[in-house]
Amino acid sequence: MKEIVVISGKGGTGKTSITASFTVLGAPTLVAADCDVDAADMHLLLKPDMAIQEDFYSGEVAVIDPSACIGCGRCAQVCHFNAISRRGRTYEIDSLACEGCGYCSRVCPTRAISNHPEKAGQLFVSTTRVGCTMVHAKLGIGSDNSGKLVAEVKKRAKALTEQQGKELVLVDGSPGIGCPVVSSLSGASFVVLVTEPTVSGLHDLQRVCELIEKFKIPSGCIINKSDINPEMTEKIVTYLDSQHITLLAVLPYDESVSRAMIAEKTIVEYEQESPIKDQLKNAWHRLGDFLKK
Amino acid sequence: MKIAFTTKGIDWDSIIDARFGRTDFIVLYDEESERLTSVDNRDIEGVAHGAGPQTAQKLFDLSPDVLITGNGPGGNAAEVLQRAHLKIYTGAANMTIKQAYEAYKKGSLSLFE
Amino acid sequence: MGDIVIASGKGGTGKTTLSTNLAALLAETESVVLVDLDVEEPNSGLFIRGTETKREIKYKQIPQWDSSACTLCGLCQRVCNFHALIKLGKEIMIFPQLCHGCYACSDLCPVEALPMVPVRMGETRRFDLDKLVFIESRLDIGEEQAVPLIAQTKGYVKDTFASYTYRIYDAPPGTSCPVIEAARSADLVILVTEPTPFGLNDLKLAVETIRQMGNPFGVVINRYGVGNDSVDQYCETEHIPVLARLPNDRRAAELYSRGQRIYTELPAFRSELEKVADYIKKLSGSKR
């Protein structure tokens, strides 16, 4: 079983649109996993049926029982996250700010504070409109995006891949460089980096490369919207070369991607001609070749 | 010598778990008594952060001389395991415990540094 | 009134485009400090070319084990909800990356064997450019907790720039903890989106979040024209003020790609941006 993870340091580069396109191209051979749990979007293009929905719990949140609270304020004194404030005669906890450390509950003289498992989101297992299975999730508001939900999505996707006798897990990874990305990357056979030729695109690409260097996973790059700044595209190409990262595709800026999205299709399915359709198909074939090695 | 394995089950033909921190079971084989014992690690699923060190702690309490696993421990877990002064071998993913043990005896697994 | 946070459910919608251009526009007449709170991937600095006037290492507080005082009672391990401490034989091991800095283990240790000590987590830099001050905080690679650095940066800005007319914060994308921390106690939150299905989907998540937090908020639609009017319709149905519709213009993308200001080059962009500035001025006027 192989795993391709698509990431981008920066948001908005086209990562999800590209991953969805790859899912369509490779549907019979794979299970898709949307690990961008903070802002999951792949479902908008793939129309999953959400056949299985599960609550996901992570961490705790503290709650004060006002009838037991004597207003001593010890809890507020020890809270380092500014989550506790006075309300009339008693104290209350802002659940969005509460980190679930449990300290306040340990110092309350009347045991008025209890800790509850926090529902941090939901996990879904679906069949997409192109026939393959997709595992995806929605992180709850204000939740700690620890990477645990991402790990759960991947675990489920891998288990299903094995069960179904498929060869590949295709992951829409999290943006940024923190835990969720690390969690997205663990176990990857190949990483696809999506970037754009802007000062921030290059900057964030470099930060991400620093991160993946540690994992020593072979990687390739797709430069999206390349013609808005040909000089910057050149800079990126040079940088990729210096890092021994394969250049998988150089896609021009194409508004038909947005039009396709509104028609609820990926660009590779969209009827109108587009310069990037063939490039994406090529990139997908090249990925297939890499994985066979 | 006591040999520990990260596994998906508790018998000789159970498969090795490639992961360390979130492994389902830790199986311990005592070469002297020729006995196989196990620790159920599946409650680690509820742990958001720090799975590696928690599992390493369980392993520490078993005092093995050798650990056989798939990919190897992550950073935090590796730090804990250093204090256990044991030898770690990787590359056993997808083997059965029996096969992994034989591979270790033959010297065909990789030493994790 | 003066604390404005620019956020978005999704990355790449134009938060930084808006915050940098808006800050520059407001700074033409008022004192403005622009703060980049996207500490994992701070980008605003690529668009603001000021002189660096200050650089400070930022520290988080982490417990440190004092083996001579420790009795190995194991209480610390029991009170840590994040498994950042474990007792291993005769040693207490600490995992700084897992520590959330709650101080429970340190304060509750019966023999004070876990004093909290400062450990580097990142840096804050200050840049000055005419009337505009730019503050950037950047988390070191490998650091997992963004919230402490965001909180410290906001504290520093509130103390140092209380007299400035506007404090504009570029928040991290998404709706998780770091965004909550950034948007807390803002006088106005501006949500940036794009008029596409992805944009609308993530705007809804952001709106849910800000509504729960209770701050006044409005929406700016970027790349207006590239998609459809579903975002407009959503905002109308939900009675959410749309403060501006920044036009979809390839030239804007090109200027952005080079780290250049957009509103000075594109009049259509400028007139929309001025609507945002006017809204803010009106809001501060009515609060006096």
Statement to judge: residues C86 and C166 lie in one domain: no
Q: Look at residues C114, C145, C179 and tell me which one is the last residue of a structural domain.
A: C114
Give yes or no for residue C103 having a pLDDT over 90. Answer: yes
Question: Which residue spans of chain A are classified as CATH 3.30.70.20?
Answer: 61-119
Chain B residues within 8 A of A148 when measuring between CB atoms:
48-49
Distances in Å between the Cα of A11 and the Cα atoms of A80, A238, C23 are 31, 22, 22
Statement to judge: residues C108 and C134 lie in one domain: no
Strands (E), chain B: 2-7, 25-30, 35-40, 66-68, 87-90, 110-111
Q: How many CB atoms lie within 10 A of CB A110?
A: 12
For residue C95, the chain B residue with the least C-alpha distance is B76
Average pLDDT of every residue of chain A:
90
Q: How many pairs of residues across B and C have Cβ atoms under 8 Å apart?
A: 33
Distance CA A185, CA A79 (A): 34
- Per-residue model confidence (pLDDT) at position C216: 96
Helix (H) or strand (E) segment spanning residue C107: helix C104-108
Do A203 and C197 count as a contact with CB atoms less than 8 A apart? Answer: no
The amino acid that residue C234 corresponds to is Y
Average pLDDT of every residue of chain C:
92
Q: Given 3-state DSSP classes, what are the helix, strand and coil percentages for chain C, each rounded to the nearest 5?
A: 35, 25, 40
Confidence of residue B70 (pLDDT cuts 50, 70, 90): confident
Statement to judge: residues C96 and C191 lie in one domain: no
Chain C residues within 8 A of B51 when measuring between CB atoms:
83
Is C174 in a helix, a strand, or coil? coil
Give yes or no for residue C287 having a pLDDT over 60. Answer: no
Statement to judge: residues C196 and C252 lie in one domain: yes
- CATH number, domain with residue C167: 3.40.50.300
Count the helices and strands in chain B (H runs, E runs): 3, 6
Distance between C199 CA and the closest CA of chain B, angstroms: 30
pLDDT digits (tens, 9 = 90+) for A111-152: 999 999 988 889 999 999 999 999 999 888 777 766 788 888
Chain B residues within 8 A of C84 when measuring between CB atoms:
49-50
Do B22 and A151 count as a contact with CB atoms less than 8 A apart? Answer: yes
For residue A120, the chain B residue with the least C-alpha distance is B48
Please compute the mean of the pLDDT values over residues C76-88 and round it to a whole number. Answer: 93
- Per-residue model confidence (pLDDT) at position B77: 87
Mark which residues 79-118 of A lie under 8 Å from C by CB.
80-81, 96-97, 99-103, 106
Distance between A56 CA and the closest CA of chain B, angstroms: 10
List all chains that touch chain A, counting a touch as 3 or more CB pairs closer than 8 Å: B, C
Contact status of B22 with chain A (Cβ, < 8 Å): yes
Mutate one of B57, B58, B86 to test the C interface: name it (highest C CB count within 10 A). Answer: B57
- Per-residue model confidence (pLDDT) at position B52: 86
Q: Look at residues C47, C80, C114 and tell me which one is the last residue of a structural domain.
A: C114
- Retrieve residue C268's tokens: 């259509």
Question: Which residue spans of chain A are classified as CATH 3.40.50.300?
Answer: 2-47+128-292
- Per-residue model confidence (pLDDT) at position B113: 73
Distance CA B51, CA C82 (A): 10
Mutate one of B41, B45, B60, B76 to test the C interface: name it (highest C CB count within 10 A). Answer: B76
Do C95 and B83 count as a contact with CB atoms less than 8 A apart? Answer: no
Contact status of B83 with chain C (Cβ, < 8 Å): yes
Distance CA A136, CA A156 (A): 10
Q: How are strands ordered across the β-sheet holding C51-63? A: C51-63, C116-129, C132-139, C32-36, C166-170, C3-7, C188-193, C217-224, C242-247
Place of tokens 């992951």: A171
> Among the CATH numbers 3.30.70.20, 3.20.20.150, 3.40.1160.10, 3.40.50.300, which is that of A61-119?
3.30.70.20
Task: Provide the domain count of chain C.
Answer: 2
A32-46, A225-239, A264-278, C170-184: which is most confident: A225-239
List all chains that touch chain C, counting a touch as 3 or more CB pairs closer than 8 Å: A, B
Statement to judge: residues C90 and C190 lie in one domain: no
Mutate one of A148, A158, A183, A211 to test the B interface: name it (highest B CB count within 10 A). Answer: A148
Statement to judge: residues C32 and C126 lie in one domain: yes
Q: How many CA atoms lie within 13 A of A4 on its CB side?
A: 29
Q: What residue spans define the domains of chain B?
A: 2-111
For residue A12, the chain C residue with the least C-alpha distance is C12
- CATH number, domain with residue C100: 3.30.70.20
Contact status of C88 with chain B (Cβ, < 8 Å): yes
Chain B residues within 8 A of A143 when measuring between CB atoms:
none
Contact status of C86 with chain B (Cβ, < 8 Å): yes
For A253, list phi and psi in degrees, rounded to 5. -65, 125
Mutate one of C48, C102, C149, C223 to test the A interface: name it (highest A CB count within 10 A). Answer: C102
Do C107 and A196 count as a contact with CB atoms less than 8 A apart? Answer: no
Distance between B45 CA and the closest CA of chain A, angstroms: 9
Fold of B2-111: Nucleotidyltransferase; domain 5 (3.30.420)
Specify the range with the lowest mean pLDDT, choosing from A63-72, A112-121, A176-185, A213-222. A176-185
Residues listed for chain B:
113
- Per-residue model confidence (pLDDT) at position A142: 73
Chain B residues within 8 A of A144 when measuring between CB atoms:
48
Q: Is the pTM higher than 0.90? A: no
Distance CA C33, CA C111 (A): 45
- The answer to whether residues C146 and C172 touch, using CB atoms and an 8 Å cutoff, is yes
Statement to judge: residues C170 and C92 lie in one domain: no
For every residue of chain A, which 3-state class applies, written as one string?
CEEEEEECCCCCCCHHHHHHHHHHHHHHHEEEEECCCCCCCHHHHHCCCCCEEEEEEEEEEEEECCCCCCCCCHHHHHCCCCCEEEECCEEEECCCCCCCCCHHHHHCCCCCEEEEEEEEEEEEEEECCCCCEEEEEEECCCCCCCCHHHHHHHHHHHHHHHHHCCCEEEEECCCCCCHHHHHHHCCCCEEEEEECCCHHHHHHHHHHHHHHHHHCCCEEEEECCHHHCHHHHHHHHHHHHHCCCEEEEECCCCCHHHHHHHCCCCCCCCCCCCHHHHHHHHHHHHHHHHHHC
Give yes or no for residue B17 having a pLDDT over 60. Answer: yes
Contact status of B47 with chain C (Cβ, < 8 Å): yes
For residue B72, the chain A residue with the least C-alpha distance is A187
Is C256 in a helix, a strand, or coil? helix
Q: Look at residues C48, C82, C114 and tell me which one is the last residue of a structural domain.
A: C114
For C34, list phi and psi in degrees, rounded to 5. -105, 130
Distance CA C185, CA C173 (A): 18
Statement to judge: residues C101 and C199 lie in one domain: no
Q: A62: which strand partners?
A: A115
Q: How many CB atoms lie within 10 A of CB B16?
A: 25
> Among the CATH numbers 3.40.50.300, 3.30.70.20, 3.40.140.10, 2.60.120.10, which is that of A2-47+128-292?
3.40.50.300
- The answer to whether residues C194 and C226 touch, using CB atoms and an 8 Å cutoff, is yes
Mutate one of B24, B44, B47, B49 to test the A interface: name it (highest A CB count within 10 A). Answer: B49
Give yes or no for residue A290 having a pLDDT over 90. Answer: no
- Retrieve residue A53's tokens: 């929905």
Share of chain B above pLDDT 90, in %: 57
Q: How many CB atoms lie within 10 A of CB C31?
A: 16
The amino acid that residue A239 corresponds to is Y
Give yes or no for residue A191 having a pLDDT over 80. Answer: yes
Distance between B103 CA and the closest CA of chain C, angstroms: 30
Rounded to 5°, the CA angle A280-A282-A284 comes to 70
Chain C residues within 8 A of A207 when measuring between CB atoms:
41, 141
Q: Which domain holds residue C100?
A: 65-114
Is the ipTM beyond the 0.90 threshold?
A: no
Mark which residues 40-99 of A lie under 8 Å from B by CB.
57-59
- Per-residue model confidence (pLDDT) at position A254: 87
Please compute the mean of the pLDDT values over residues A222-236 and round it to a whole number. Answer: 93
For C234-255, letters b (16+ CB in 10 Å) and e give bbeeeebebbbbbbbbeebbbb
Share of chain A above pLDDT 90, in %: 61
